Amino acid sequence: MKVDREKLKLAMARACMNTADLIAATKMPEPTVKNVITGRSVRPATLGHVARALNVDPSEIIEQEGLLCNRQ
């Protein structure tokens, strides 16, 4: 799973958090959180921890490309 970087930045801004704040709030290792921020693929649980720390639903920050079905 990948996080939409722009949506993540917006959620961080709403929560008045920078990278260090997010690392502290998630209680996860710095490299793991930085993987999320840089758009690398992460486990669903990692995405859940980040979303919880930002007080948003995971669907608000997940990358949507490739998840939608093509309708004809």
CA neighbor of 2 nearest in space, from 30, 33, 41? 41
> Residues 28-68: pLDDT tens digits?
999 999 999 999 999 999 999 999 999 999 999 999 865 55
What kind and span of H or E run contains 49? helix 44-54
Side chain identity at 17, as an amino acid letter? M
**Overall average pLDDT of the 9-15 stretch:** 97
Residues 6+ apart with CB under 8 A from 2: 39, 40, 41, 42, 62, 63
Work out the pLDDT band at 18, boundaries 50, 70, 90. very high
DSSP letter assigned to residue 38: T
Note whether 5 and 37 are within 8 A (CB): yes
**Overall average pLDDT of the 19-28 stretch:** 97
Work out the pLDDT band at 69, boundaries 50, 70, 90. low
